[in-house]
Structure 1
Amino acid sequence: MTSIPVGTGTAYADHSLLGRTGKYTPAELLLALHRRFGPVVSAGAGRNRFVYLLGAEANRFVFANSPLFRNREAYAGLIPVDGETSLPVSDGDDHRRRRRLVQPALHHRQIDGYLRIMAENADAVVGSWRTGQRVEVYQAFRAAIRRSTIQSLFGGRLAADAEFFGDQLQPLLDLVDRLPQTVAVLERLHLPPWRRAVAARNKVDARIYAEIARMRAGDADDGDHVLATLVHGRGDDGEGLTDLEVRDQAVSLIAAGYETTSAAMAWAVYAMLSTPGVWDRARDEVRDVLGDRPPAGTDLSRLTYLNGVVHETLRLYPPAVIGARMVTRDFEFADRRVPAGSLLIFSPYVTHRLPELWPEPTRFDPERWDPAAPGYRKPVAHEFLPFGGGQHRCVGSVLAVTELTVMLARLLAGASLRLPAQRVRARGFAAMRPRDGLLAEVC
């Protein structure tokens, strides 16, 4: 794994994610493959054939040619967590129908109503800290974001069980971090990690299905949240989601909502504290725009530099290092034939670190996102894709960006931090996160 030494007086943080030993992380290995072999790299054969399509033009091709691919086989590793009918593993008409029923609950106007919840959960964390205390930033905000996500999307009843969901979803999330072949062995031999995951899923399902039943029976105060929309929503044909479909969308939104957003939160704090001047400038902007109050919806667009921090974090530390598709028909790209049956891998991480797109790509520079800055260039969708792209772009992307911005604003307003000496190591493909957490000292 990568090692990034940081501490007081650090002049420059190595955002290349290369350790002192020079060993590649899996993410950096993909970048090295692209430098050496170009946009198409093949590996394996037969049922174990992988094809890496790397770079912005590769992304554009994948997103523009969805009939060539299927998601289900590519993301089968998510099924133990998200379920058989969740959006990440849905294709074709099923995907379109389910997405149309989920999207209205995640509209911008709806998300604006969640800002108070986000701010309150951030304030609860920051308010518990004391000067001189060492805090584990990643875990602290992981719990806060989990509660905030559940409360925002599913109401107070499920939010009261936020710790329960964290405990029970963890064995399932641990499976996602393993290679698919390893998970298959765990399942086939019914080994302890698989048994723990199954038991945990049964507990999660029982809690979600109980809440669905309350809503179906009219015994619950539905409120204005996503679970109510999923239960009562109807498509153009007048049909709604089944209980299984509601369960799968709910669990995938909970798991992805806090797992990826909390990782990005930790990387944002790390980047701000390890890059000279960034923390102070972001803090000053928050104070100038907001004073001591939490942000309202109209404030977010005024936080230009902080928005740059969020986008630069998502560029250097995208929630998913790779995306995948199963190839269903032969095609050609960059004069190379890609046969059906291949597992296609594309990489936001690689694209976000290409010098032809991003000058000094490993430098953390929030100003590159400021339209008023000299040399500003707005990236197009296939150049900046922290949440994927095309028909399968993450449905919760706006929620994630909003939550990051609000929680960072409250952190900057309420605390001063410094990084003690430590090694910050990256881990994970589903959500690239600090392997051993992130320590900070409250000043």
Structure 2
Amino acid sequence: MAYALSMAELLTDPFTALPNLYRRFGPVSAVGAGPLRSVFLLGPEANRFLFANADLFRWREAFEPLVPVDGETALIVSDGADHQRRRKLVQPAFHRAQIAGYVRTMAAEADRVIDGWRPGAEVDLYQEFRRAIRRTTIRVLFGERLAADEPVVGRQLQVALDLLDQNPILQPVRRFLPSYRRAIEARARVESAVRAEIERRRTEDGDGSDVLTLLVHGRGENGSGLSDVEIVDQVISLIAAGYETTSAAMAWQFRALLLDSGHWRRVRDELPGDVSAEDLPRLSYLDGVVNETLRLFPPAAISVRWSAREFSFAGRRIPAGTQILLSPYVTHRLPEIWPDPLRFDPPRWDPDRPGYRKPAPHEFLPFGGGPHRCIGSTFATTELKVMLTRLVRRTSLRLLTTEATPTGLAAMRPKEGVPVRVLGVA
């Protein structure tokens, strides 16, 4: 009966059910039966075990729901040598020095949104900055020509991304749903635009200035490059991941600061003016705001693995071929790790604060861990910081509702968005 109740809760209110599972059953719990059976490994020690024993798990089956959006060869659905080869060719575009060059574009896209507001207007910060993040991602990673197609690309990708909002417990039956066919068709239209840009890049000299150039002209250690299918999959998956999860975190970040004007003022007072890439590492309160947002509202509330062979954890035997689910959301809200865990408290990240303890990788994992840790983590946190500085510097806003219902397990976001009234724009 407890398992049946947990299944019902997970399907209807996962953000309440997940912590309940951990409190009631500890680090290991089984939910469902037959093809819908899943095993949850929850809490810091479960995370530590998963990251330290990557060979026990497969990604391909676990992330099969992403294939309609990301493609068969995207990094997140790749394993083993293929994953390593593809990641090496993409990684240079996400080095810190490279990302520093993206800051100006990130700020410009935030300003582009704000420039369209007038005092008295009501806007949804989530939707407004979602477009800004999507356009930034396409511009800096894949160039201005593809960015010109951003409205079309965004509409089609959203059809595919809607598929990912379905609960992962329903994965075995997902491909039989009408939404699956719609996602495939929408993804094909995005692929057509990306392939056209790839063909143009092949006739140009590669200067290594963006990810697409690196993917088209890059070569691995053995001199081989990526196939067109591989390039298309990396482009689409990076666009989707680059704005879907970051915009979700951005929404919670904005909402948290508008709920407590003290946070808003402290971020504003810390800013030196127009923030440059060199300024970002020195903005400690801003850094705390971003980390605290990712702690309380990790975009991927649940992550998935598939057991490659039988193993045991916490005295429980887990058969091969089992869907394994872990949850940063649960770990990030445990009082044994985080004092007053539900409080939005940016100073908890200040190393000079009495009692400060840097969390271990298995305690703070908004970008996952192990060999599949999100390749764009630094890009995402930089974007969160830069766009927040522009909003705080240039606007005065009032939140129109204090209610917020989380929705979306692949990218947890406020269901109602972040509606605000614009009081002033500089």
Report the TM-score range of the alignment, normalised by the length of the smaller protein.
over 0.9
Deviations 1:92-138 (A, max 9, x none): 11111111111111111111110000000001112222222211110
Tell me by how many angstroms 1:90 deviates.
0.7
Q: Any idea what SS the aligned residue of 1:268 has?
A: helix
Give the match for residue 237 of structure 1.
222
Give the match for residue 4 of structure 2.
none
Matching residue's letter, 2:101: G
- Tell me, yes or no, if the aligned pair for 1:329 and 1:339 is still in contact at 8 Å: yes
Give the match for residue 363 of structure 2.
383
- Tell me, yes or no, if the aligned pair for 2:69 and 2:184 is still in contact at 8 Å: no
Deviations 1:275-296 (A, max 9, x none): 351111111112xx2x2x2x22
Give the match for residue 234 of structure 2.
249
Gaps of 5+ in 2: 1-10
Matching residue's letter, 2:381: V
Greater displacement, 172-181 / 146-155? 172-181
Tell me by how many angstroms 1:423 deviates.
2.8
Tell me by how many angstroms 1:341 deviates.
1.2
Tell me by how many angstroms 1:27 deviates.
2.2
Give the match for residue 202 of structure 1.
188
Q: Distance in 1 between matches of 2:74 and 2:305?
A: 16
2:41 is the counterpart of 1:42: no
Gaps of 5+ in 1: 1-22
Matching residue's letter, 2:61: E
Give the match for residue 11 of structure 1.
none
Q: Distance in 1 between matches of 2:344 and 2:319?
A: 39
Residue 137 to residue 233, structure 1, CA distance change in 2 (3 Å): same
Tell me by how many angstroms 1:46 deviates.
4.4
Matching residue's letter, 2:408: G
Aligned-residue RMSD, C-alpha: 1.8
Decide which of 311, 323, 343 is 1:331's aligned counterpart: 311
Give the match for residue 258 of structure 1.
243
The aligned runs of 1:383-402 (5 Å cut-off) are 383-402=363-382
Give the match for residue 275 of structure 1.
260
Give the match for residue 212 of structure 2.
227
Decide which of 309, 312, 323 is 1:343's aligned counterpart: 323
Residue 32 to residue 304, structure 1, CA distance change in 2 (3 Å): same
Tell me by how many angstroms 1:48 deviates.
3.3
Give the match for residue 178 of structure 1.
166
Q: Give the TM-score taking structure 1 as reference length.
A: 0.90
Q: Distance in 1 between matches of 2:306 and 2:172?
A: 18
Q: Distance in 2 between matches of 1:334 and 1:186?
A: 31
Give the match for residue 8 of structure 2.
none
Give the match for residue 128 of structure 1.
116
Give the match for residue 75 of structure 1.
63
Q: Distance in 1 between matches of 2:410 and 2:205?
A: 34
Residue 64 to residue 186, structure 1, CA distance change in 2 (3 Å): closer
Matching residue's letter, 1:208: V
Q: Any idea what SS the aligned residue of 2:337 has?
A: coil
Greater displacement, 124-133 / 34-43? 124-133
Q: Distance in 2 between matches of 1:344 and 1:356?
A: 24
2:66 is the counterpart of 1:86: no
- Tell me, yes or no, if the aligned pair for 2:206 and 2:217 is still in contact at 8 Å: no
Give the match for residue 156 of structure 2.
168
2:293 is the counterpart of 1:308: no
- Tell me, yes or no, if the aligned pair for 1:71 and 1:91 is still in contact at 8 Å: yes
Residue 357 to residue 393, structure 1, CA distance change in 2 (3 Å): same
Q: Distance in 2 between matches of 1:302 and 1:99?
A: 30
Matching residue's letter, 1:341: G
Residue 233 to residue 219, structure 1, CA distance change in 2 (3 Å): closer
Query: Percent identity between the aligned chains?
Result: 58
Tell me by how many angstroms 1:243 deviates.
0.6
Name the structure, 1 or 2, with higher relative contact order (CA <8 Å, separation 6+). Answer: 1
Q: Distance in 1 between matches of 2:253 and 2:239?
A: 21
Q: Any idea what SS the aligned residue of 1:424 has?
A: coil
Give the match for residue 158 of structure 1.
146
Q: Distance in 2 between matches of 1:60 and 1:391?
A: 13
Greater displacement, 391-400 / 128-137? 128-137
